[in-house]
Amino acid sequence: MSAVTVLRESAPGAGHDGPTAPQDAREVLLDVHAITKSFGDRVVLSDMSMRVHAGEVVAFLGANGSGKSTTLRAVNGLIEADSGDITIAGVRLNEASPHRRAEARRTAATVFQKIHLVQRRTVLQNVCAGGFARLPAWRSIPPLFGRDLREEAMGCLERVGLADRAHDRAGSLSGGQQQRVAIARALCQRPRMILADEPVSALDPKAADDVMRLLHELAVSENLGVAAVLHQPHLARAFAHRVIGLRGGRLVFDAPTADIDDVEVASLYL
Ligand SMILES: Nc1ncnc2c1ncn2[C@@H]1O[C@H](COP(=O)(O)OP(=O)(O)OP(=O)(O)O)[C@@H](O)[C@H]1O
Ligand SMILES: [Mg+2]
């Protein structure tokens, strides 16, 4: 099957009734340029390029195995691409020292489908853990979280609408609430960007809507960049400013949400 790459530029969110337009869409927070990745003989990403701007939600669509998670992993450092360039918040990873590379990658917080909260700890303690990257190891033990960090974590919980659950056990919250806690924990990392790999796949439709609306609001009101892998095209339409389609490890389209038609989306899953 030939992969036709369609890249259409326009102000994200402009000119349609979908997601609210971002405030400053032109600052590039993430620039993935022509990356490739193979595992053994299997090429799983070929010439993959994409950008995320501040204030923008970018949805990744594609069938199982099309390379969505691999792209995000190459950004957050869980794997390294074989070739190509990734620039995060202005830092070109290939040229940066290991310290600068790690620092740049910390500006992108990752949220996963499987919510890795410590169930027996409180919601607040889980959110404080987002500040680990900025703490010496001995301060990362829950009883030693400082007041500043706890206050910051409370602020993050307010941003996701769960401050009233701060002192409950994480395990006592619903799946949708736990995902919002995971987003609060990501915010406690003080990111410029959130990478969300199927953040709503395990949630019921209402909770999935709530989480996507939250990510959209954070992007627009706080100028965060959000890259979200989704298996629900209707959520991409409702909450993303741009939609990227992958097939067989290649970019098939990258366009403002209003310009994506159902045939293009359906073609990803043939
Ligand atoms: N660590 C690995 N070792 C070997 N193969 C891998 C590894 N990680 C991913 N792959 C392969 O790379 C391809 C792309 O995987 P990836 O996880 O990026 O797909 P995806 O689009 O996220 O799919 P899904 O929708 O199922 O999550 C798949 O064929 C997968 O088997
Ligand atoms: Mg995946």
Under the banding of pLDDT at 50, 70 and 90, the label for residue 21 is low
Residue 116: other Cβ atoms inside 10 A: 12
Contact status, residue 44 vs residue 249, Cβ threshold 8 Å: yes
Question: Can you give the pLDDT at residue 2?
Answer: 37
- Please give the model's pTM, rounded to 2 decimal places: 0.89
- From residue 122, alpha-carbon distances to 84, 140, 153 in Å are 42, 15, 12
3-state secondary structure (DSSP) of residue 50: strand
Q: Which fold has domain 1-13+22-107+192-270?
A: Rossmann fold (3.40.50)
Kindly give the interhelix angle for 205-222 and 175-187, rounded to the nearest 10 degrees. 20
Boundaries of every domain in the chain: 1-13+22-107+192-270, 114-190
Under the banding of pLDDT at 50, 70 and 90, the label for residue 147 is confident
Pocket test of ligand 1: the residue of 36, 68, 231, 246 to mutate, having most ligand atoms within 8 Å of its CB, is: 68
Question: Can you give the pLDDT at residue 18?
Answer: 54
What whole-number percentage of the chain has pLDDT above 90? 80
Least confident piece of the model among 137-141, 196-200, 230-234: 137-141
Pocket test of ligand 1: the residue of 36, 44, 78, 200 to mutate, having most ligand atoms within 8 Å of its CB, is: 44
Atom nearest to 73 CA in ligand 1: 18
